[in-house]
Amino acid sequence: MAQKIEIAAIELTQKAVLPMTGVSRYGQIAPFISLSREKWRQLVLAGKAPQAIRMGTRCTVYKNSDVHAWLADPMGYRAEVLA
């Protein structure tokens, strides 16, 4: 029991970091944005948030560099249109 409490305390003290490169799923970027999954999806569809990359039928990721650009200026961000 003491080991579980110790592990939980360690997890709470670790600071979450979003890497500058690579890709992340919504669950990995959620701590950095203050939006629900549905609102994030609406912004993506409107081109006001980074475009999603479909890795499969049940896996959607976002480029970390695009997420960082959005975090720097959420109101002025416009997604690149991919052809």
- How far apart, in Å, are the Cα atoms of 10 and each of 1, 2, 6, 62? 15, 12, 6, 28
Dihedral sign for Cα atoms in the order 26, 12, 17, 79? positive
Residues above pLDDT 70, as percent of the chain: 78
Q: Could you read off the pLDDT of 10-56 as tens digits, one per residue? A: 555 566 788 999 999 999 999 999 899 999 999 999 999 999 999 99
For residues 59 and 14, the answer to whether their CB atoms sit within 8 Å is no
H/E run at residue 53: strand 53-54
Q: What average pLDDT is seen over the chain?
A: 85
